[in-house]
A and B are shown apart, each in its own frame.
Chain A
């Protein structure tokens, strides 16, 4: 009887922290998402694949200035290129990437800017980041997209402001 009671106590002593640990981690996660505003890619709508490249936003590709220190980078990923090898932007720019795929699934991965989004044919991917630090930001495809997958990459070059 006493032994059974001890076991219940041990069980309880483990169950409570087993609830507290995930709840604590979740709280930290909510703080970063809503307090610090670090969001993940959301639903940005569909892209008509039949008219791809003819309609906005993909009628004009590459870097588009939309305001002072505000840019859009419009890209169509396809085997095995982003269409842009080097994109120059001034430091302090806020850049919105609007991207999709012309063929298979690709990924847009810019690790130094914390950009990580899939490019699916028929869907619009949208990510906005601010680039403060001058330097080279490697950009690569991180989803297997065929035999030349490892060749698909490029660079964002953030130029110091003179």
Chain B
């Protein structure tokens, strides 16, 4: 109909697609929270309640916890949230709604295929699935489908942007849309490592088509993707911190060009540094480890740009609300808004998570912390709080918007965010300290013969912190369930994108281009990984058999 063309898009499909992704993500997070509680209690000395029909062992639980939280909750939330954000920012629907649904169902099917062996204890290999631990083939096939599905989102966003560009040839891409595109471009490049590991190594090996594998090549390909995946989790959070939060706190984005610059830097600096996860690996020369440590420090630069821009934007809002002083303005932020409170608390935690991350990446300092409980403490600050608590804050406006019903209780939401903050403080600080005292990660430590006396008090705190986190998570789910079932108030409008004090037109035109930066990213990957990967691929005997030892 001719009139339909004239109307503003209603985004009905986009809302449904986003809702579908969000439901999967939240169900995964629920499973992750339950398993997490059991593991934290194990550390506090409660015998792990292994059973024949659900969680067979502590390690089965850790595998489920890692896959659900780090792979499913993250990936599905990102695909839902950024498709929602990008289409709003561009003011047009997705280029292909069929592709959008096809992608979702392909990923959901992959998830089911991977979940069957995972839940059935046939893939108790952790979310890092290092061979020669050998899971059932369907675990690898399912996860590969989830990863390949994300490329469908990339394609759809790129096509949508191209359609927008045809009608707006002399405008700058709206910031939130540009950031969404960069996030998926970065991820698509980075996911090549994982895809290669799956398609050329793990899938043929687990199907019995080839006899052996090579653990070092597999680990190298895994971390090729495994470090940039943390930026895939983090950049959608930055989208909210840069483009929504400034307005939610009543201020302006400090600088649009700085925001673009930091995302462009993330595009080509996120990937060529996975060796800092393999500092303790044999078979890789220490020179390469040092080189990638340099690059890791380079990626600290856009993180600091983000820190500055986001805090300056918060300050502009707080001052507009009457905030004064060097520090006192901070208390004038709209702390009564659960979406803001959750995300600002997440930012505070992330400052410590970022510093801890630099310690991990610091070449020889890594020997103190590698594979210890310190690392567990670290990523519960980053993906477990900076990312997860921010996304909880986002869902406090997104779920009401998608369901058309106001949040059931703002007070409960505020209590939930603070409880997460306090619980994580106790949980994470204890784990950091346990790591420094030499406690290994991913270990059923209460049953370990080497359990040290000076770990026990801290392990109790891990149990207490984990319990608070679990209660917080349950309050979160309760609030969302009551919102979509019981709440009768109409939902308020979702937050609008923030204006910028220093706007996009002041930035050079290359800050709105993607291809040159993608090309640079590929060059960086070839330089940082090419020689080592070439040597490994050409010299590995590929003769290591698989084991199922759980």
- Tell me if A91 is interfacial: C-beta within 8 Å of chain B: no
With both beta carbons as reference points, the residue of chain B lying nearest to A155 in the complex is identified as B450
Q: Report the separation of the CA atoms of residues A14 and B62 in the bound assembly, to the nearest whole angstrom.
A: 41
B290 CB contacts on chain A under 8 angstroms: 33
A40 touches B279 (CB 8 A): yes
A33 touches B364 (CB 8 A): yes
Cross-chain contact of B59 among A7, A38, A122, A147 (Cβ < 8 A): A147
| Interfacial residues of chain A within 1-40, with CB under 8 A of chain B in the complex | 3-4, 7-8, 10-11, 14-15, 17-19, 21-23, 25-26, 29, 32-33, 38-40
Q: Report the separation of the CA atoms of residues A104 and B502 in the bound assembly, to the nearest whole angstrom.
A: 54
- Tell me if A103 is interfacial: C-beta within 8 Å of chain B: yes
Q: Report the separation of the CA atoms of residues A38 and B227 in the bound assembly, to the nearest whole angstrom.
A: 24
A40 touches B367 (CB 8 A): yes
- Tell me if B489 is interfacial: C-beta within 8 Å of chain A: no
Q: Report the separation of the CA atoms of residues A45 and B543 in the bound assembly, to the nearest whole angstrom.
A: 16
A147 CB contacts on chain B under 8 angstroms: 57, 59, 549-550
B544 CB contacts on chain A under 8 angstroms: 49, 121-122
- Tell me if B258 is interfacial: C-beta within 8 Å of chain A: yes
A26 touches B442 (CB 8 A): no
- Tell me if B300 is interfacial: C-beta within 8 Å of chain A: yes
A145 touches B549 (CB 8 A): yes
- Tell me if B215 is interfacial: C-beta within 8 Å of chain A: yes
From B105-113, B153-161, B165-173, B304-312, give the one contacting chain A: B304-312
A60 CB contacts on chain B under 8 angstroms: none
B449 touches A153 (CB 8 A): yes
A144 touches B444 (CB 8 A): no
Q: Report the separation of the CA atoms of residues A41 and B184 in the bound assembly, to the nearest whole angstrom.
A: 34
- Tell me if A116 is interfacial: C-beta within 8 Å of chain B: yes
Q: Report the separation of the CA atoms of residues A143 and B445 in the bound assembly, to the nearest whole angstrom.
A: 13
- Tell me if B403 is interfacial: C-beta within 8 Å of chain A: no
- Tell me if B352 is interfacial: C-beta within 8 Å of chain A: no
With both beta carbons as reference points, the residue of chain A lying nearest to B303 in the complex is identified as A18
A120 touches B438 (CB 8 A): no
Interface size class on chain B is 35 or more
Min Cβ gap B356→A in Å is 13
B437 CB contacts on chain A under 8 angstroms: 111
Query: A29-B362, A123-B283, A140-B440 known; A150 and B367 CB under 8 Å?
Result: no
- Tell me if B509 is interfacial: C-beta within 8 Å of chain A: no
Chain A binding surface SS class: mixed
A118 CB contacts on chain B under 8 angstroms: 278, 280-282
Q: Report the separation of the CA atoms of residues A109 and B370 in the bound assembly, to the nearest whole angstrom.
A: 9
Cross-chain contact of A43 among B59, B62, B285, B541 (Cβ < 8 A): B285
- Tell me if A160 is interfacial: C-beta within 8 Å of chain B: no
Interface size of A in residues (CB-CB distance below 8 Å): 65
* A99-115 interface code vs B (CB 8 A; 1 in, 0 out): 00001110101011011
Query: A7-B255, A105-B130 known; A40 and B280 CB under 8 Å?
Result: yes
A143 touches B371 (CB 8 A): yes
B501 CB contacts on chain A under 8 angstroms: 3, 7
B444 CB contacts on chain A under 8 angstroms: 149-150
* B240-269 interface code vs A (CB 8 A; 1 in, 0 out): 000000000000001100100000000000
Min Cβ gap B281→A in Å is 5
Q: Report the separation of the CA atoms of residues A48 and B72 in the bound assembly, to the nearest whole angstrom.
A: 38
Q: Report the separation of the CA atoms of residues A120 and B218 in the bound assembly, to the nearest whole angstrom.
A: 11
B280 touches A146 (CB 8 A): no
- Tell me if B209 is interfacial: C-beta within 8 Å of chain A: no
A39 CB contacts on chain B under 8 angstroms: 286, 364
- Tell me if B506 is interfacial: C-beta within 8 Å of chain A: yes
- Tell me if A117 is interfacial: C-beta within 8 Å of chain B: yes
B215 touches A107 (CB 8 A): no
Which residues of A approach B to under 8 Å, CB–CB? Answer: 3-4, 7-8, 10-11, 14-15, 17-19, 21-23, 25-26, 29, 32-33, 38-46, 49-50, 79, 103-105, 107, 109, 111-112, 114-126, 138, 140-151, 153
Given contacts A40-B289, A118-B282, A120-B282, 19 further A-B contacts (CB under 8 A): A4-B506, A8-B502, A17-B304, A22-B297, A23-B297, A25-B358, A40-B364, A42-B282, A43-B284, A103-B547, A103-B549, A105-B219, A116-B371, A122-B214, A123-B216, A146-B59, A147-B57, A150-B447, A153-B449
Q: Can you sample 25 A-B contacts with CB below 8 Å?
A: A7-B255, A10-B312, A14-B304, A29-B363, A32-B365, A40-B366, A43-B282, A49-B544, A104-B130, A104-B132, A105-B215, A116-B280, A116-B366, A116-B368, A118-B280, A120-B282, A121-B132, A121-B544, A122-B215, A122-B541, A123-B282, A146-B133, A146-B550, A147-B59, A151-B449
